[in-house]
Chains A and B, each alone.
Chain A
């Protein structure tokens, strides 16, 4: 199991819980299938840590991000995916009945390291 850089080991439990996902669609699915408590925990824990995360990651260009630091980027993106809905609804997803996310087919934009692998 990948773990986060030393100064972010307090956030390791979110990686363990499967929040650090590279794909936009899979991050989205992780969010809308979460409980309110899970999303609340992610939002409230990461919000005060986002400055530190962005300062840490900003040492790199996107294309040069080391593999070991990618889970931290994915976790930060998961936070940004959660935040707008949480801030309006205090919920993981739109109120029911919400349009099913499976019906929105993401055409993924690969990260530079994923493009190289193709």
Chain B
């Protein structure tokens, strides 16, 4: 289902328009504040996976930088995953200070010892009879809306979300069907970079940049670069683009003709193969859900699912990567990057897996190394509008979805 060469993707999405886009979305402090209040305060945001709180009494903290919120996510004794503000209802002290833990029955505030159970209820107050009227049932931790989809834990800081999580996910809600289950976190790192959060999102949903900055990435070919072949090699064209109401997906093809390196041959021999490194041969296998390689692209490597507003998920065979972007300021962002892979059965698999982790980490560094100078050069004096090609249509869609939500809310024209 590749797009014919003479046809552009914009024909499927004529409402997006073709005009150049204002750079204020990445440079304007006023835009950032509106984005924080209209988008981040009101969207469903991914804070982790359900295996991060696998058992009752497991918990972790997520410090949301903007709007500022310390969020305590915990699986209660009843098995339910809940999210709370990490604030004691006595005098507003910070309840929990560590990042994560397991096997707790609840929490005791370090300041005066108020105790909350694993469901967030106020369970014990020292010297309780010294208080005048203490409505203990009403003094549980303040709840934050929290839902799970396909193992991803979402929070919504809006006390009354405009959309249910199912409505928010829209077309992708039923498209993954267990795809994310069964893989474990193989690597996890965080980065704080001096960029607007969207700059990394934007390079993640186009492959136009791959030829220039990712020589390590298996879809490009160093030899062709050396002989100066123009960047029209078919493997860096996106063979499939799907733009939903809020979310977007592009498919990245692999190069089945690329010779395998010695270490890649070792990895194949020991069965540690991800489609990031070696594309799926031929047609899409029947066991992949409809949301993965939705265009049935031959030599598929992986998809980039751009989840509104701040989560990029790379979905491959036997591997997926999540890059969650938490804006701190218009030009500063905290990135939480996790690689999930099949659990290893033996030592050889554990050893070979390290090469995929190392390669992925270096590809991320190449992206960061280029978007940070981009932010520093993006002054309104130097450039007011950016130009986007048809290959960058998902970038355009990202800005369109963002502005629509900022201007009309989630229940505007976006929701049918």
Interface residues of A (CB under 8 A from B): 24, 28, 47, 50-51, 53-54, 57-58, 60-62, 65, 73, 76-77, 80-85, 87-89, 94, 97-99, 101, 103-107, 109
Given contacts A54-B351, A99-B365, contact A81 B358 (CB under 8 A): yes
Contact of B189 among A51, A54, A73, A105 (CB under 8 A): A105
Q: Across the interface, name the chain B residue whose C-beta is closest to A104.
A: B189
Chain A contacts for B185, CB-based, 8 A: 109
Q: Across the interface, name the chain A residue whose C-beta is closest to B220.
A: A88
Query: Apart from A62-B346, A85-B362, A104-B361, what 7 extra A-B contacts exist at CB < 8 Å?
Result: A54-B351, A57-B348, A57-B351, A81-B358, A94-B362, A98-B369, A109-B188
Are B189 and A106 in contact (CB-based, < 8 A)? Answer: yes
Contact of A94 among B192, B270, B366 (CB under 8 A): B366
Contact of A107 among B189, B350, B351, B358 (CB under 8 A): B189
Chain B contacts for A106, CB-based, 8 A: 187-189
Question: What's the least CB distance linking B262 to chain A, in Å?
Answer: 6
Q: Which residues 162-199 in B have Cβ within 8 Å of A in the complex?
A: 185-193
A98 vs B366: C-alpha distance when bound (angstroms): 7
Are A105 and B190 in contact (CB-based, < 8 A)? Answer: yes
Given contacts A88-B222, A94-B362, contact A99 B369 (CB under 8 A): yes
Chain B contacts for A88, CB-based, 8 A: 215-216, 222
Interface residues of B (CB under 8 A from A): 185-193, 215-216, 222, 261-263, 266, 270, 344, 346-348, 350-355, 357-359, 361-362, 364-366, 368-369, 372
A114 vs B227: C-alpha distance when bound (angstroms): 49
6 A-B pairs closest in CB distance? A80-B354, A57-B347, A54-B348, A107-B188, A99-B365, A83-B263
Are B348 and A104 in contact (CB-based, < 8 A)? Answer: no
Given contacts A94-B366, A106-B189, contact A65 B357 (CB under 8 A): no
Chain B contacts for A60, CB-based, 8 A: 347
Chain B contacts for A28, CB-based, 8 A: 358, 361
Question: What's the least CB distance linking A94 to chain B, in Å?
Answer: 6
A28 vs B355: C-alpha distance when bound (angstroms): 12
Chain B contacts for A77, CB-based, 8 A: 351, 354
Are B351 and A87 in contact (CB-based, < 8 A)? Answer: no
- Most chain A CB neighbours (cut-off 10 Å) among B193, B215, B359, B364: B359
Are B357 and A47 in contact (CB-based, < 8 A)? Answer: no
Are B190 and A87 in contact (CB-based, < 8 A)? Answer: no
Are A103 and B358 in contact (CB-based, < 8 A)? Answer: no
A8 vs B358: C-alpha distance when bound (angstroms): 25
Contact of B369 among A54, A65, A87, A97 (CB under 8 A): A97
Chain A contacts for B262, CB-based, 8 A: 47, 83, 87
Chain A contacts for B189, CB-based, 8 A: 104-107
Main secondary structure on B side of the interface with A: helix
Are A24 and B187 in contact (CB-based, < 8 A)? Answer: yes
Q: Across the interface, name the chain A residue whose C-beta is closest to B100.
A: A107
A89 vs B363: C-alpha distance when bound (angstroms): 13
Are A87 and B362 in contact (CB-based, < 8 A)? Answer: no
Are A84 and B350 in contact (CB-based, < 8 A)? Answer: no
A27 vs B168: C-alpha distance when bound (angstroms): 41
Question: What's the least CB distance linking B53 to chain A, in Å?
Answer: 16
Given contacts A84-B216, A85-B362, contact A54 B186 (CB under 8 A): no
Are A103 and B354 in contact (CB-based, < 8 A)? Answer: no
Are B359 and A84 in contact (CB-based, < 8 A)? Answer: yes
Chain B contacts for A94, CB-based, 8 A: 216, 362, 365-366, 369
Chain A contacts for B369, CB-based, 8 A: 94, 97-99
Contact of B191 among A62, A82, A97, A104 (CB under 8 A): A104
Are B365 and A98 in contact (CB-based, < 8 A)? Answer: yes
Question: What's the least CB distance linking B360 to chain A, in Å?
Answer: 9
A10 vs B191: C-alpha distance when bound (angstroms): 39
Chain A contacts for B347, CB-based, 8 A: 54, 57-58, 60, 62, 65, 73
Question: What's the least CB distance linking A31 to chain B, in Å?
Answer: 9
Chain A contacts for B215, CB-based, 8 A: 88-89
Question: What's the least CB distance linking A97 to chain B, in Å?
Answer: 7
Question: What's the least CB distance linking A69 to chain B, in Å?
Answer: 10
Residue contacts A-B, CB under 8 angstroms, 12 given: A80-B263, A80-B351, A82-B358, A83-B261, A85-B216, A87-B261, A94-B365, A98-B369, A103-B368, A104-B364, A107-B189, A109-B186
Are B187 and A58 in contact (CB-based, < 8 A)? Answer: no
Q: Across the interface, name the chain B residue whose C-beta is closest to A86.
A: B263
Given contacts A57-B347, A105-B189, contact A83 B355 (CB under 8 A): yes
Are A54 and B193 in contact (CB-based, < 8 A)? Answer: no
- Most chain A CB neighbours (cut-off 10 Å) among B190, B191, B361: B361
A77 vs B188: C-alpha distance when bound (angstroms): 17
Given contacts A24-B187, A84-B359, A99-B366, contact A62 B216 (CB under 8 A): no
